[in-house]
Amino acid sequence: MPENGFQLITVEKEEGIAWVTVRRPEVRNAINSQVMAEISVALDELQDDEDAHLLIFIGAGHEAFVAGADISEIARRSPADALDARMQRLYDRIASFPQPTIAAVNGYAFGGGHELALSCDIRIATTNALFAFPETGLGIMPAAGGTQRLAEVVGIGRATELILTGRRIPADEALAWGLVSQVVEPEQLKKAALDCARSILSRGPLALQLSKTVVQHGFSSDAGTARLLERLAQAVLYGAEEKAEGTRAFIEKRAPNFRRGPKL
């Protein structure tokens, strides 16, 4: 059994970055109950890990990021399972995770895999990546946050079209729509994700956490509340040592030395 007792995922850390890899290449990394359970345990461990300041999600191999949920499990699910919303709750946790998250999308990102990517803060895709919501063809719908997060990212019209038709969109179209922020050749994916992670981690950790929180909660609030959240978060930062170090380093023309303390 792999380190940490995981069987279907691995967690590897380097430079303060935790790579979370779904390892079911024989079924295009489809997510089943065990994968969800292992990711949940990994999140428990990483949330308070002083050596993990950013998470990158990726799929094993070059064919798929995550090609959706395991259809054999879906066939057995009941209305009670839908109300339990296990996958939705897991993805909600990833979306609100205190550390920044990146989805490194290598290949198929269908259904639950598409929703996993959407729950991450940043998405980087390979040129052979494909995004789709095929659920309506199975007589179900995206219900792990996909209907809402996709509409937030690409707009309600495009989201409705993709969900109703199940159409697969390639990486270049995903980039044009803002679904992903960067498209690279498959062999460059890990480097691109690592470069993005390093850029993020060069910045103030408290500023990163508060910026992520305000973007997420402000977007779903009215404009006045959103600006209030900005002011309150900025007030916290103005009183933090992090701001003093960042401005001092700029004036002294050197790289800031930010200390990383407990997550909010």
Q: Where in the chain is the domain with CATH 3.90.226.10?
A: 3-201
- For tokens 């850029």, the residue is 199
Residues designated catalytic: 115, 135
Of 240, 100, 89, give the one whose Cα is nearest residue 181: 100
Distance between CA atoms of 248 and 242, rounded to whole angstroms? 10
User: Per-residue b/e over 16-43, b at no fewer than 16 CB within 10 Å?
Assistant: bbbbbbbbbeeebbbbbeebbebbeebb
pLDDT tens, position by position, 179-233: 999 999 999 999 999 999 999 999 999 999 999 999 989 888 899 999 999 999 9
pLDDT tens, position by position, 73-83: 888 888 888 88
pLDDT tens, position by position, 111-136: 999 999 999 999 999 999 999 999 99
Amino acid at 224: G
pLDDT tens, position by position, 13-29: 999 999 999 999 999 99
pLDDT at 262: 54
**Helix intervals (H) in 18-121:** 33-47, 71-74, 79-84, 86-95, 112-119
Q: Assign 84 a pLDDT band (cuts: 50, 70, 90).
A: confident
pTM (two decimals): 0.92
CATH tag, 3-201:
3.90.226.10
Mean pLDDT of the chain: 92
- CATH-assigned architecture of domain 205-251: Orthogonal Bundle (1.10)
- For tokens 């295009």, the residue is 28
Question: Is residue 104 scored above 60 in pLDDT?
Answer: yes
Distance between CA atoms of 94 and 112, rounded to whole angstroms? 13
Question: Is residue 105 scored above 90 in pLDDT?
Answer: yes
Q: Assign 156 a pLDDT band (cuts: 50, 70, 90).
A: very high
Mean of pLDDT values over 244-251: 94
Pairing assessment for the beta strands 108-110 and 101-105 based on DSSP bridges: unpaired
